[in-house]
Structures are given as structure tokens and as C-alpha cells.
Amino acid sequence: MRVIHFFVGIVSLFYLAATTSCSESGATPTPTPAGNLQLSVEALAVSYEKQTADITVEADWEWGVYPQVDWITASPSGGVSGTTKVRLSIAENKTGDVRQGSVEFRINGKVIELAVRQNYAVEAVSIADANFLAALLEDHDTDGDGILSTKEASEVRRIECSSKGIRSMAELGVYFTQITSLDCSDNELKKLDVSKLTKLQSLDCSGNNLTSIDIQNLQSLTTFDCTDNPSLATIYVWFNFSAPAGFSKPASAEYVEPDIPTPEGYQLVWHDEFDTAGVTSPSTDKWWYETGDGGWGNNELQDYVSGGKYNGTRIAEVSDGTLKITAQKIDGKVRSVRMNTVEGWTYGYFEGRLKLCKGRGTWPAFWMMPKNFRAWPDDGEIDIMEHVGYHENFVSSSIHCKAYYHSIGTQKTHELYLATATSEFHTYACEWTPEYLKFYFDGKLHFTFNNDGRGNKDTWPFNAPFYLKLNLAWGGNWGGAEGVDETCLPTTYEIDYVRVFQKIE
């Protein structure tokens, strides 16, 4: 016990001596830094391009830099007391929208935040009428840069441009298809194309110089005023039209319905009746041609020609209200046409009225392919109607995808007997929704392919835009399976109309 007490006494004495020595030395303790940090800017606003920004840091203690988003990096990542330059590297903004981020500067338990705002790449809309553009900028230039961007245009839901001296609004269907209200009254308009504004609920085009207006695609309209158009004679409306209470028109104008039956719940969005006076070939505003004689993956024998002609001979001709595609042998080779719609659609009701051609070796089709095609059959194919000449009284509908196609024996198809396929016109249609593809002959359902709901592109790639195709092949793996008979040439595939309907939203 005495030993322990002695040890404690020595330690206590040592501590007392040490503390007395320090206090007697007169040394001043070093003060703790306050942790102050200042930045050369309070916030950053930058353009969409990849770039760097230099920030000057004034600090009285050690500090660190911590970007809070993955599109900003900093160098160096920290520093000590004094003045330091920090370089921020900012990636290009490809998101199509303004983005916000921040960089934290931390010192002695404190956080100083630098906000960073990066703009997106601005693509300006092109508006020909200066007064229309000025009216749009006044109401919809949300960032105040004097430019109406495509992004700003896509967000517009109401256009109010009454009494602005506007003579043309030709860009409505290009940039403003989402609007629900349009007031263009008391301007100087002679034409007004609203055919693509299918979400419109209110339209005031009174007080202009219109002679006609087509609203047949605007079945959501509840308010419509076209009064005070002195020369307005015709208002084209939808099938089975009944004027809502909110419709007003001049007494001189009449409502004219199309002679086009529309599936219930759908509206007509595109059609070609092939009956325009004075027109002798398919409209290049609606159709484009695939050309070549490379067999098309099926060992086909025909040469598809450009523009529907070959050396002055019409292969695709519009006459007497129908399109006629005629396969004929010219200069030692069978010439024909493969034509596609310029537009594409995701889902809808697609219908054609067709009279098929005769002859062993013929292979007419009415079908659909992906607008952004990459690989077959992965991206899908929809065959609304196919027919081969050696099997004259039968027509078929099919789908193709990676899991289901003929080369591996899994193709989904249905064939039906039709004694008058080559002597009379019949309607062939496909209803395409996210849930199913249904195929019709003269309005009667004959084949259904259902989405299995697994979200697997191998079994359902049918969720992207497809375009329509009309063609007449000669020979090939299927068309020529029993040989070809050139004595049937020339032979004609005749199309009365092609129509596209989409659901009313």
C-alpha cells in the first residue's frame, strides 16, 4: 500500500510542476480558426455545351469540394487557408430540359453551397408569319431569350392571338398538336389547317376570310365559332355529325359529312381515296417508293421502280377513283411498285379496300413495317393481307417477330377462303392496340394475336410507329413456290382506298 501511495504522489507532483512551468513561461495559445470561406460567385448559370468554370476560393482553414450531381466534377478537390482556384468541369446537357445541380464547399463543419443551372440546347421553331411569331413569343417565351424553342412550343396548350393581323398559321400542325384551345379570331386568314389538332376543345376562327374549314378530326370540340367569315361555304365534319350546342356558323355555310364510316371510338386521321380530280399518280406527300431488284430477302424476281413509272410507262396509276399497281414485263424484266406511307402510327385501325390480281407468280400485299427499322424479324411485321396467285381463292393475315416467324416454324397466321378475292373489292383491316392485334375481312374478325403482357420485345415489338405498305411482288419463296406464269402479265392489283383511324382521346 505504501508503494502505491508513493507512486501517486510522484505523478501528482510531476503534473503540478509541469503546469506551473507552462504558466510561468508566458507562451500565448494558438487561436482556433473561425472556418471562413468565400467564393468568387454566388451561383452559376451556364449554357448546354460541355465547358469549365473557374471559381476563386478564399479560406482561413482546410476545406473540401463536393459536387452533388454526376455531371459536375471539381479540381482540386480541396485546399488549405489562403486563395485557391477551383475548376468545375460541366458535361454537355443532352436531356432536352434545364437541369439544376450544386457544389458543396465544406470547412470546419460548415457547408457553403454553389447552385449551378445549365440550359438545354435550344432549337427554334420556324414560323413564317411575323405577326403569328410575335404573338407566340409574347405569351410563350418562358425563358425570355427572344426565341420560341421547340420545347416551349411543345408545352403550349392554349393559343390566344386575336386581332394580331395574322395571315398564316401554317405551322399549327407541326409544333402545336397538343393544344386544347385556339382563338385566332379577327385576323386575315384565308386558310386554316387544324386537321392535326385532335385535342382541341375550343376553336374561335371568327372574323377571318375563310372559304372552308375541315374539323372532321376534331371530335373533342365543344365550342366552335366560325361566324363573320363572309365567304365561308363549307365546314367539313365527322361521320354522323350532330352540331353541339356550342357551335356557331354563318347561315351561308353548311356542314358536310364524309362518306367514310368510322369504327366506334375512333376518328379518321389519315386517308387516301385516290379520287382527286386531275391526279394520275399517288401523292408524294403521302407515299414514297422503295426501289430495286435484289430479291428483297425472298428471292423475288421483280424490279421495283421509282415514282411509279418505268421509261414512261405507268406502273402505279390513279384513275377512275382507284390506284392500280400493274406488274408488267418491260425490257426483259417484270417491273412493279412497292410504296409506303410517309407517316407512321402507333396503334389504330388500318383499313384498305382491295381487289387482288390474278396469275401464278403474283404476290400482292397490304402490310406494315416499323418506321425505325433495324432488324427483321426482331422489330416486327404486321401483314394485314397477303395473297399468292397460285392459291387464288385464299387470303391470309399474319404477324412476325423474333419469337414467331416462318423460318423457325412459329409464324402466327390465319388463312381464309374467299372465292371473289380477284374479281371483287373487299375490305381488309387490322385493329392494333397495346393489348392485341385483330384482323378483319369485310368487317368480320378472323384472327387475333394477343400481347402476352410480359414486356418482352421478342414476343411483342408492336409498341412503336409502323407505316403502311402496298406492293405487288413477282415470284419469290412464296409467290413463286409453284413457279411463275408470264402469260398472265400484265396483271393489276387495285386499291380503292387506304384509311387510318386512331382512338379519340
Burial of 418 (0-12, 13-18, 19+ CB in 10 A): middle
The closest alpha carbon to 153, from 129, 171, 130, belongs to 171
Place of cell 385556339: 182
Four-point Cα dihedral 292, 296, 302, 308, nearest 10: -50
Which three cell numbers mark 418? Answer: 374467299
Residue among 386, 392, 431, 494 flagged as catalytic: 386
Strand order in the sheet with 466-474: 287-290, 338-341, 466-474, 362-370, 381-386, 394-400, 412-417
| Whole-Å CA distances, 39 to 64, 107, 115, 437, 451 | 13, 12, 12, 62, 58
Which three cell numbers mark 235? Answer: 365546314
**Residue 486 among the catalytic residues:** no
| DSSP bridge partners of 246 | 223
The two beta strands, 316-319 and 246-248, are unpaired
The closest alpha carbon to 110, from 61, 73, 68, belongs to 61
Which three cell numbers mark 258? Answer: 364524309
Residue among 152, 300, 351, 381 flagged as catalytic: 381
d(CA 61, CA 107): 7
Q: Is 7 helix (H, G, I), strand (E, B) or coil?
A: helix
Place of cell 399518280: 281
**Residue 381 among the catalytic residues:** yes
Whether 111 contacts 104, CB under 8 Å? yes
d(CA 419, CA 106): 84
The CA-based angle 17-23-24, given to 5 degrees, is: 85
Whether 444 contacts 456, CB under 8 Å? no
3-state secondary structure 156-188: CCEEECCCCCCCCCCCHHHHCCCCCEEECCCCC
Instruction: Give the phi and the psi of residue 502 in degrees, each rounded to 5.
Output: -130, 155
Name the residues annotated as catalytic: 381, 386
